[in-house]
């Protein structure tokens, strides 16, 4: 079952069970998928990789908004954003811990033979592909920088 079909099925169940918060998040994800499908030049639909990127983007947007709301002491809006994050994260693969990400990055660095900060771009390219959807890009970048300068 594709992500779009899964989202459609979950929207129906959320409607039947009257879970308004879940419904809002699911409709937002469906909207992102439909927009990606109708983009100019897109003829064969959205790939699984592109769907994963859309989900990661949706989670990142909501986390950023939640952070702003928290800074402005808007706990009501913060709670709404974090509830949406929880719903969307159900469709993402399990997130790796910082230690797991570090171990994966060390393997990538060893495979590429990277030796210093000048190799950061090369390592980031490989790491972003290998850890897509499993770790936040900011975390990956920070850890790569630490590992290459150590």
Question: Where is the domain boundary, 89, 112, 128?
Answer: 89
Same structural domain, 37 and 17 = yes
Same structural domain, 45 and 77 = yes
pLDDT at residue 93, as a whole number: 80
Report the pLDDT averaged over residues 92-117: 84
- Judge whether 81 and 72 are in contact, CB under 8 Å: no
- Does residue 45 carry a pLDDT above 80? no
Q: How many independent structural domains does the chain possess?
A: 2
What is the distance between the alpha carbons of residues 115 and 55, in angstroms, rounded to a whole number? 33
- Does residue 133 carry a pLDDT above 80? no
pLDDT at residue 99, as a whole number: 86
8-state DSSP, 92: S
- Domain range for 109 is 98-149
CATH code of 47's domain: 1.10.1510.10
Taking the CB of residue 24, how many other CB atoms lie within 10 A of it? Answer: 14
What is the distance between the alpha carbons of residues 19 and 22, in angstroms, rounded to a whole number? 6
What is the distance between the alpha carbons of residues 148 and 136, in angstroms, rounded to a whole number? 18
What are the φ and ψ backbone dihedral angles of 34, each rounded to 5 degrees? -60, -40
pLDDT at residue 43, as a whole number: 67
What are the φ and ψ backbone dihedral angles of 117, each rounded to 5 degrees? -60, -25
Same structural domain, 17 and 51 = yes
Global confidence as pTM = 0.74
pLDDT at residue 27, as a whole number: 94
Report the pLDDT averaged over residues 27-32: 92
Same structural domain, 116 and 82 = no
Q: How confident is the model at residue 1 (pLDDT cuts 50, 70, 90)?
A: low
- Judge whether 28 and 19 are in contact, CB under 8 Å: no
Same structural domain, 72 and 125 = no
**pLDDT > 90: what percent of the chain?**
33
pLDDT at residue 2, as a whole number: 82
For the ranges 20-34, 48-62, 64-78, the lowest mean pLDDT is seen at 48-62
Residue 62: name the closest of 41, 83, 36, 31 by CA: 83
Report the pLDDT averaged over residues 26-33: 91
């Amino acid at each position: 079952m594709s992500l779009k079909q899964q989202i459609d099925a979950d929207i129906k169940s959320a409607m039947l069970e009257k879970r308004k918060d879940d419904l809002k998040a699911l409709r937002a994800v469906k909207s992102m998928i439909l927009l990606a499908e109708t983009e100019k030049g897109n003829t064969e639909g959205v790939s699984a990789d592109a769907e994963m990127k859309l989900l990661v983007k949706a989670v990142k947007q909501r986390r950023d908004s939640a952070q702003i709301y928290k800074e402005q002491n808007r706990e009501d809006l913060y709670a709404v954003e974090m509830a949406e994050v929880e719903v969307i994260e159900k469709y993402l693969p399990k997130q790796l811990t910082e230690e797991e990400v570090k171990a994966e990055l060390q393997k990538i660095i060893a495979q590429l033979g990277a030796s210093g900060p000048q190799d950061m771009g090369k390592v980031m390219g490989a790491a972003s592909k290998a850890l897509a959807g499993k770790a936040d890009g900011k975390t990956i970048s920070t850890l790569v920088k630490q590992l290459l300068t150590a």
